[in-house]
Structure 1
Amino acid sequence: MADQQQLFKVTIDNITVEVPPGTTILNAARKIGGDVAPPAMCYYSKLQGSGGKCRTCLVEVSKGSDKDPRPMPKLVASCRTTVMDGMEVKNITSPKVIDARAGVVEFLLINHPLDCPICDQAGECHLQDLSYEHGKAGTRYEFQRRTFHKVDLGDKIQLHMTRCILCYRCVFVADQLTNKREHGILDRGDHAQIATYIEKNLHNEFIGNVIDVCPVGALTDKTFRFKNRVWFTKPVDAHRDCPKCSGEVQLWMRGDEVFRVTARKDEWGEVKDTTSGKPGWICNDCRFDKKHINDWVIEGPSAISRHSVISQGHYVGIEKPKEVLIDVMGGRKPRLFLDIHDVSEVNKPNIELSLIDGPATSDTFNGTKKD
C-alpha cells in the first residue's frame, strides 16, 4: 500500500508538483496550469493511444531523476514521457524548446491553406492559437501547397482535407466510440490523407464527435457551416433527457436561435466529463437534430476564458440597466413609426438562419432560392 500511495516530485519551469507514478510530463504540467503546460495538437486524454504525432509538446529534461541526474540528450514528447522522482523539466524557460516549437509550427503550416476568414473553426482553432503564441511571423516555404477536394462524410459532416494536420484524433474516436470504423489514413508521405475506404458515408450514433476533437477546421458541422461566427454567438450550458448519451451539451445561440450544439469543453479544449463523472461524448441526435431552445433545459452561460475571442460580449453577472425612456416621456410608451421589415424586406422575421439549408444569401430572403 505504501508503494501505491508514493508520489513523484517533478519540477517544471522551476515549479514543483507531486504526481502519481506513470503520469506523463504533459499531465503533470497541466496540473500546474498556465503557460507551464505545453501545447498539444494530437494528444487527447479521453482517447487511448493518442499523442506522439504532432511534436508540439516537446520539452527539455535537464535532470532525469534523483537516482540518475543526467539530462536526456534530446527533446522529448511530454505527452509520451512519464515522470521520474526528482525529474526537472524546462518548457518555456528553454531556448531549445522555444526554437523547436517554432519549427514544428512552421511544418504544420506548410500545407495549411490559411483560409481563416472563411473557416468555421476560426475563433476556436487550436492551430490559430498555436501559431500566434509559438510561431513566427513569416514562412520560408516557397513551393505549391498540398490540396485536396472537399468530401461529404454523410449528410452532416464535411471533410476539408486541405486543412488537416493528420493528428489522428478522429480515427481514434471512430475506433473507440463507434461499432465500426469506416475511415482512416490512406496513402503515405505527402499523399497521406483522412478518407473513407470506398467513398462511404459515416453513419453512427456517436460519429459527430469527430467534429469536437478536430483541432483545426478539417471536419466541420454542415448544419452550422457558414451560418455565423462563433464570437457572435453566446455559448450556454444545457441538458436534456437523452436515452443515448448524457445529454449535457453546450448550445451556441444568437438571441433565441440555437445555431449549433457541441459537447462541453475543458480548459485544454477536450470534451469535459459529465456531472456524474462519465465521458461527455454526445450523440448525433443531440448534436444535429435538437436545434430548438424548447428541446433543452438551459443551465446558464458557459465559463469562457477571457483570453478567448468568444468572450467578447459574454457578460456574466451583469445586470441590465433600467429602461428610463418611459419615465422621461411621463409614463407614455414610445411609438413605432417605422417597421424596417416593411421597407427593406431584409432578414425577414419568419426566417431562422439556424434552420435554413446552407449559408444565408439574398436568395433566401428574396424567396428565389431553389430547393
Structure 2
Amino acid sequence: MAEQPLFKVTIDNVTVEVPAGTTILQAARKAGPEVAPPAMCYYSKLEGSGGKCRTCLVEVSKGSDRDPRPMPKLVASCRTTVMDGMEVKNLTSERVVDARKGVVEFLLINHPLDCPICDQAGECHLQDLSYNHGASGTRYEFQRRTFEKHSLGDKIQLHMTRCILCYRCVMVADQLTGQREHGVLERGERAEISDYLEKSLDKEFIGNVIDVCPVGALTDKTFRFKNRVWFLKPLNAHRDCPTCSGKVTLWNRGDEVFRVTARKDQWGEVEDWICNECRFDKKKTSDWVIEGPREISRHSVISQNKYIGMVKPKETIDEVIGKEPRLFLDIHDVSQVNEKDRDLSLIEGPAHSTDFKEKDEKKQ
C-alpha cells in the first residue's frame, strides 16, 4: 500500500507536515496551541462535528504551491482541508481577529451572565473565548432569548438559555448510545435542544453530554451547586469497570469526591468515554485506585495551588552544616554574657539575662 503524501502547510509562520485530507484546524493543533484557532463545536472524536460556531475562521493567504491565489473569504478551519504549500493566518490576520470578535459577540447576545452561579464557571470554553477574543461590553439592547430550565432525567439538567447550539450533545447520543431521545427542535431563534415527548436521558454513556458541552447548558445534578472547581483537587484514578475503560478524573476536596468526569486532553476533549455508573454512582474514594494529581494547565483557574512538577529552591543549609547543628564561632572568650559551659538548649524557654545573673554576682 502506497504511503499517503505529506503536505506542507504554514500557519502563523509555523510550518508542519500533515497527511492529505487533514483539516487546517488539525494541522494547527499539530503546530501547537499558540497558533491553533479556538473551536466551540468541532470535536475530533465525534463524526460530522464542526462548521456551526464559526469561531475557528482563518485567512488562507496562499492556496497552494500550484495555485498561490489567496481565498477571498475567511474559511472555517475545521471544515477546510490543507493543500501542499498552503499558508494560513490566524492571530496574525487583522481580518480574523475582527471576525472572531464579531462571532463571540453573536454567541453572547442571548447568553446570560450566569457565571457567578454556573457550575461550568472556571472551565467554560465560552469564558475563555470571550476573554481572549471578545469585547469588553455589548451593543445589544433588546430582550434576550430565554427558556425554562428543563430536566433531562434524574442526573442531567438542561439550561437552554445558555446553549449555543453546537450539536455536540446530539452527536454523543447518536454515536455513543445508538438511540438518542433528544435533538434540536424548531428553527432560527426558536431553535432549542430538547428531549422528545418529555423522555429522560438514561441510556448508558449519555452522561458524556455533560463533558462535551462547551458551556453550562448541560450540568451534572449530582454536583450541582455543591462546589467550585478551583476549590477541588483533580486526581487521576481508575477502576475495573466492565462497561468502559474506568479511567477518570476525580474532583476531591479532602477525602470527599464531589464529582467524576472523563479525562480531557489539552483541547478540552474527552480521552476515553466513561459510563454512567462511573460518573454518577461511584462517589467514594475507596471505589477508585488513585494514580496521582491531574496535570492542569497553569493558565487555568483550576491550577491554583495545584501545580505539579514545580522546581522548588534548593535548600543548601544541610550541605553547609550537615544534619546536626554546628557552632562555627566560639564567642565565649569575648562575650561578657554567655558562659562557655552553659548549654542554652537546656534552658526552659528563651534565654534571658537572668540566666547569667549568678555569673555577674560572682564578679562582684
Question: Normalising by structure 1, what TM-score?
Answer: 0.83
Report the counterpart of residue 149 of structure 1 in structure 2. 148
Counterpart residue number, 1:19 = 18
Q: Give per-residue Cα distances to partners, 1:25-50, cap 9 Å, x unaligned.
A: 00000001122000000000000000
Partner residue in 2 for 1:249 = 248
What is the identity, as a one-letter code, of the residue corresponding to 1:286? C
Q: Return the alpha-carbon distance in structure 2 between the equivalents of residues 32 and 169 of structure 1.
A: 25
Aligned to 2:147, what secondary structure does the other structure show? coil
Match in the other structure for 1:113: 112
Of structures 1 and 2, the larger Rg is shown by 2
1:35/1:92 contact within 8 Å kept: no
Structure 2 counterpart of 1:292, one-letter code? K
Cα offset for 1:316? 2.3
SS at match of 1:92: coil
Letter of the structure 2 residue corresponding to residue 164 of structure 1? C
1:54 counterpart letter in structure 2:
C
Deviates more, 1:29-38 or 1:242-251: 29-38
Aligned-CA RMSD value:
1.5
Q: 1:95 to 1:318 in 2, by over 3 A?
A: closer
Distance 1:190 1:270 in 2: 28
1:293 aligns with 2:292: no
Q: Which runs of 5+ in 1 are unaligned?
A: 273-279, 321-328, 331-371
Q: Which residue of 1 aligns with 2:84?
A: 85
Residues 8 and 15 in structure 2, CA contact (< 8 A), matched pair in contact too:
yes
The aligned counterpart of 2:294 is 302
- The 3-state SS of whatever aligns with 1:35 is coil
**Distance of 1:167 and 1:175 partners within structure 2:** 14
**Residues 4 and 20 of structure 2 are in contact (CA less than 8 Å); yes or no, is this contact kept in structure 1?**
no
Distance 1:268 1:317, change over 3 A: closer
- The alignment status of 1:189 with 2:181, answered yes or no, reads no
Letter in 1 for 2:142: F
Deviations 1:81-114 (A, max 9, x none): 0000000000000000000000000000000001
Amino acid at match of 1:193: E
Letter in 2 for 1:35: E
In 1, distance between residues paired with 2:214 and 2:108? 13
Counterpart of 1:153, as a letter, is: L
Query: What percent identity do the matched residue pairs reach?
Result: 82
Within 1, Cα distance between the matches of 2:206 and 2:18? 34
2:239 and 2:132 mapped to 1: Cα distance?
38
Where in structure 2 are the equivalents of 1:307-346 lying within 5 Å?
Answer: 307-317=299-309
Three-state SS of the structure 2 residue aligned to 1:118 is: coil
Equivalent residue number for residue 365 of structure 1: none
Question: What CA distance in whole angstroms lies between the structure 1 residues aligned with 2:278 and 2:4?
Answer: 41
SS in 2 for 1:261: strand
Whether contact under 8 Å (1:227, 1:259) holds in the other structure is: yes
Deviations 1:39-72 (A, max 9, x none): 0000000000000000000000000000011100
Runs of at least 4 residues of structure 1 off by over 4 A?
Answer: 317-320
Q: Deviations over 1:277-335 (max 9, x none)?
A: xxx00000000000000000000000100000000021425799xxxxxxxx99xxxxx
Number of residue pairs matched by the alignment: 314
Which residue type is aligned with residue 287 of structure 2? D
CA distance in structure 2 between the partners assigned to 1:5 and 1:269 by the alignment = 29
1:21–1:313 distance in 2 versus 1, CA, 3 Å: same
